[in-house]
Structure 1
Amino acid sequence: VPGLTVWDVGGQRKMRPHWKHHFLDTAGLVFVVDSADGRRLDEARKELHRILRNHSLKGVPFVILANKQDLPGAQSPETLCQELDLRRACEGRAWFIQPCSATMGVGLEEALTWLTTRNWTTSG
Structure 2
Amino acid sequence: MTAVDLFSSMFRLGPAGDVRTEQRRMSPDLAGWTVVTLHVDSDADAHPESWEQHSDGEEVLCVLSGAVRVYLRKEDDPRDPDGELVARLTPGTAYVVPRGRWHRTTVEEPSDIMVFSRIAGTRMERRTGW
TM-score bracket, shorter-length normalisation: 0.3 to 0.5
| Structure with greater Cα Rg | 2
- Structure having the larger proportion of residues in helix: 1
Tell me the TM-score normalised to structure 1 length: 0.33
Where relative contact order (Cα < 8 A, 6+ residues apart) is larger, the structure is 2
TM-score, normalised to structure 2, is 0.32
